[in-house]
Structure 1
Amino acid sequence: MVYILAALLPPLGLLVNGQPISALVNLVMIVPCILLGLIFPLLFLVPSVHAVIAVHMKRTDRRQREVIEAIERSGGVPPRNYRP
């Protein structure tokens, strides 16, 4: 759901995801992209792509942090039948 919001309303999607500085950068980025988008229509997609990538990176970082915390809680010992 956050990805759809980031694609359609980029600054709002970033705010919902907990990234206020990226939302401000995205908001500033929208103005020149709209003005130059009249000449180069592909520029209309830049703020949306930025927001989707930022949301994905933040969610990946959160997931990795959770895995690291789970490993630290278990003492860093692998399961008994674990084979690399």
Structure 2
Amino acid sequence: MIYILAALLPPIGLLLNGQPFSAILNLVVIVICVIFGLIFPILFLVPSAHALIAVHMKREDRRHREVVDAIRQHGPPPGYPR
């Protein structure tokens, strides 16, 4: 759901994902893309792409932290080389 929101309303998707600085940067990118998008229409996709990549990276970071915390709490998995 957050990916759909990030694709359609990038700054709001980033804010709801807990990334206020990325949302501000995305607003700046939107303004720049609106100005230059009249010449290069493909630029209208840049803010959405930025939001999707930022949301994905944040979710992967959270998942990585969960795995690291589980390893710290329970130890490495059986058969893990040391």
Asked whether 1:67 is paired with 2:57, we answer no
1:21-45 Cα distance to aligned partner (Å, 9 max, x none):
0000000110010111111000000
Name the residue aligned to 1:4.
4
Name the residue aligned to 1:25.
25
CA distance in 2: counterparts of 1:53 and 1:10, whole angstroms: 11
CA distance in 1: counterparts of 2:80 and 2:15, whole angstroms: 42
Identity %: 70
In structure 2, runs of 5+ residues without a counterpart are: none
CA distance in 2: counterparts of 1:83 and 1:77, whole angstroms: 6
The number of residue pairs the alignment matches comes to 81
TM-score under structure 1 length normalisation: 0.91
